[in-house]
Amino acid sequence: MTSPAQFERVSAGEAASPYDRLAALGITLPPPPPPIANFVTHVQEGTLLFLSGQGPREADGYLHTGRVGEDVSVEDAYRHARLTGINLLSVLHAALGDLRRVRRVVKLLGMVNAVPDFGKHPAVINGCSDLFVSVFGEAGHHARSAVGFGSLPDRITVEIEAVVAIRD
């Protein structure tokens, strides 16, 4: 896992753009993953952008699957949530054309495919939350729910959706 100190160093430069921060983290945004069913990746309503749930899909299409607490560790699931955050950023970039249009990340809903007695859902979804704070600084702090599910589509380890306030 990436340490909180690393996130603070990257997010401390409030004048840095989200793209500068992504570069400092060594992240190149992949193309946005296509929807896997009958839905769109995002819907804008006024100054709010609602992002559909994304999962831990690598740029080459590989999908991380399994149940946290059974065959996936908390550390691996944290990395999967971070990857899911990168996919959300990719959708956000495609939707807005410029991540500098993000005024604030308002809310995340993080879902973890976990065994029934698993209790570390927040630690898993921190992978995405930590990333958003690193990329957007103060504007990346958000309200959040992190919950467990008995299954997720295609057995993915995590799914995360977001609500983002945007600038015109």
Kindly list the structural domains of the chain, giving each domain's residue range(s) and its CATH number in brackets, ordered by start.
Answer: 4-30+41-166 (3.30.1330.40)
- pTM of the predicted protein model: 0.91
d(CA 38, CA 125): 26
pLDDT in tens, the chain (168 residues): 444 444 444 444 457 999 999 999 999 999 998 888 899 999 999 999 999 999 999 999 999 999 999 999 999 999 999 999 999 999 999 999 999 999 999 999 999 999 999 999 999 999 999 999 999 999 999 999 999 999 999 999 999 999 999 998
